[in-house]
Amino acid sequence: MKNNNNLAYLLGYFSLGILFIYYIRKEVDILNTQTTINLSILKRFNVTGLEMDSPTQTVFTKH
């Protein structure tokens, strides 16, 4: 495998994949649990000043 220290090469040009794995008990509301976890993560990001941006791409055309 080619050794490339370019961050865009390692992560893709527009994303940083983060995977959270957790167990939800059968008797618990799955969607509510996922929403609670995701909002908790977002709140922690906001407290620390981390910002999430949607992927964007600019296309220049020549006429």
Cβ atoms of 36 and 45 within 8 Å: the answer is no
pLDDT over threshold 50, residue 10: yes
pLDDT over threshold 90, residue 32: yes
Report pTM: 0.53
Q: If pLDDT is split at 50, 70 and 90, which confidence band does 9 have?
A: low
Rounded distance between C-alpha atoms, residue 14 and residue 38, angstroms: 21
Give the model's pLDDT for residue 19. 80
* Residue with the two structure tokens 């949607």: 54
* Average pLDDT across the chain, whole number: 77
CA dihedral over 37, 43, 46, 52, signed as positive or negative: positive
Higher pLDDT, 36 or 17: 36
The runs of H, that is alpha helices, within 1-63 are 7-11, 30-48
